[in-house]
Structure 1
């Protein structure tokens, strides 16, 4: 069985799955718009949760939240399920495919044979869309792949039930009903922007490792890495941070560029032209994230110049935080004023 499903690559896996699923039902929204509607531009550093032995740094909410937030705001009815039984998880996926329902699935990248070797590590928050089954192979739309791919039933089970940090537990999600009326985008866009501003600058409160507070917290921690962990372990901590920024789930700069594109589109949708200037500012902030990642890579590999070290990295991260705090404050003011 094969559902007629269009595959479109994307900058981020869950954005791409969400876009492709909505496109299947005749709703053609851009990836930046869906990311913005989900209000999922975020930043957390969680020292008490470990991934590969190191603290988790994340720039997005938990897997499935982008899909659920964006579709809920637009008025779609959706369902999500997790499973303790691989057999039940497989039966549910097969039954959805049999009824013609393309389905989003959360998997571990380590068990995806079609991935290049350098991307196959234990990361349990990758999203794919499954649109059919041919014999023992599932037909898969992976947004970071250029073409549709196949995944055996055996590998699908291993990927859906991988162990480790944030195990996927067979999670799947799909669209069950369509909006009763065409979504009215201008008020939805304004609401989503204000929600994201609140999550970044107000909701964290005094918690140091959440939202805008994370910049100062992590900016203070990075200069302490060499003394706290020793040279080798400090470099590994920094490498983990770089990997979360540049390789796992689009990360620091990538999400800033994506949200900047959303603000450009939001300016056209809402008529708030000040969003164009804020988009340009966020693009500049994304450039600073990219420079920070490059400098951190040089420090990690012991190839940095004398004026770039753990201390300057901490200072640079706090400076980026200052820019983001001001940007979200201005963004909230501009949208509330309309």
Structure 2
């Protein structure tokens, strides 16, 4: 069985990292900030009626798979993406055939079943991206996981469990791979498209569970936790917000830092020095998200010194929401 000469690099976030590594394999000089920014990855959603591990779903980025698809389309790179529902045998056969043809394959997985992951990271989260770059004679898969150092291996039965893990969002064996890369890539145009699309995605949703409005929705709801929930439920709800922000992939603050790095690179490539100011402002917003997580963690741990209230957390979120909307509205006025 062929083993692909796949160059592994550790990155901040799984999807933008896997996408970057796949593109580099085909000779595209991609960085993770560019992949994230062109892929319009910055977002926010809070969906109270969709429960993830028993608590309302909160996300700080676009829906899994959209960064890869948006980036490929913006650079006019051909790709294939497949899902297999509950047909595990078909999903395994497709993956094995691609690897045997020497094609590295990106895929979604459930972290809980990734046996090479450190124990502390193995919880129920079914939208983790990784790249398979080969398999051994006994069927063991060779894995490049962009969130970890070095290369890893996983038994075929564990890979199957991870690829077809149950619970929202179900990966359903999703895999994706690059089929053709043009000789000439218009990076400048792709960057412009990425910025414009991210502005539209973040500012345009009319309902309060997606985009900027969702931050204020969460801010209003978090203020009611002490009255509407038991103490234990309130701590669980806040704890999950922190987990989604700081432990799932890059996290809320980290995504903002990643987007700030994208704007810094975009300023150089496009010759638009004004984007550097937006980069600095986005970095400051990332710091606000980190401060929010720190304060929320103190509530979860019931620290008595310098303890903030649920009202304080709400105020922090409202300010973050106002600052992010102001940044994107002003970014919209830049002549790209």
Same fold (TM over 0.5): yes
1:60-209 → structure 2 map (5 Å cutoff) = 60-83=61-84, 84-134=86-136, 135-179=138-182, 181-201=183-203, 203-205=204-206, 207-209=207-209
Q: Confirm or deny: 8 A CA contact 2:40 2:62 kept in the other structure.
A: no
1:49-103 per-position Cα deviation (integer Å, ceiling 9, x unaligned): 1110011101122222111111111111111111121111111111001111000
Residue aligning to 1:260: 260
Kept after mapping to 1: 8 A contact 2:127/2:171: yes
1:236-288 deviation per Cα after TM superposition (whole angstroms, max 9, x unaligned): 10001000000012121000000000000000011111100110010000000
8 A Cα contact 1:295 1:304, kept in partner: no
Partner Cα distance (1:123, 1:281) in 2: 31
Structure 1 stretch 3-12 or stretch 302-311: which is displaced more? Answer: 302-311
Q: Are residues 304 and 26 of structure 1, via their aligned partners in 2, closer, same or farther at CA, if it must alter by over 3 Å?
A: farther
User: Is contact 1:246–1:252 with CA below 8 Å preserved after alignment?
Assistant: yes
User: 3-state SS of the aligned residue for 2:48?
Assistant: strand
Residue 40 of structure 1: CA displacement? 1.3
Q: TM-score, normalised by structure 2?
A: 0.97
CA distance in 1, matches of 2:190, 2:313: 37
Count of residue pairs the alignment pairs up? 333
Q: Distance in 2 between matches of 1:104 and 1:89?
A: 13
Indicate the residue corresponding to 1:308 in structure 2. 308
Distance, in Å, in 2 between the alignment partners of 1:332 and 1:261 is 18
Mapped to 2, the partners of 1:330 and 1:61 lie a distance apart of 21
CA distance in 2, matches of 1:30, 1:177: 19
TM-score, normalising length from structure 1? 0.96
8 Å contact 1:41–1:59 — kept in the other structure? Answer: yes
> How many Å separate the matches in 2 of 1:69 and 1:198?
14
What secondary structure does 2:61 align onto? coil
Corresponding position of 2:239: 239
The DSSP-based 3-state class of the residue aligned with 1:175 is strand
Aligned alpha-carbon RMSD (Å): 1.1
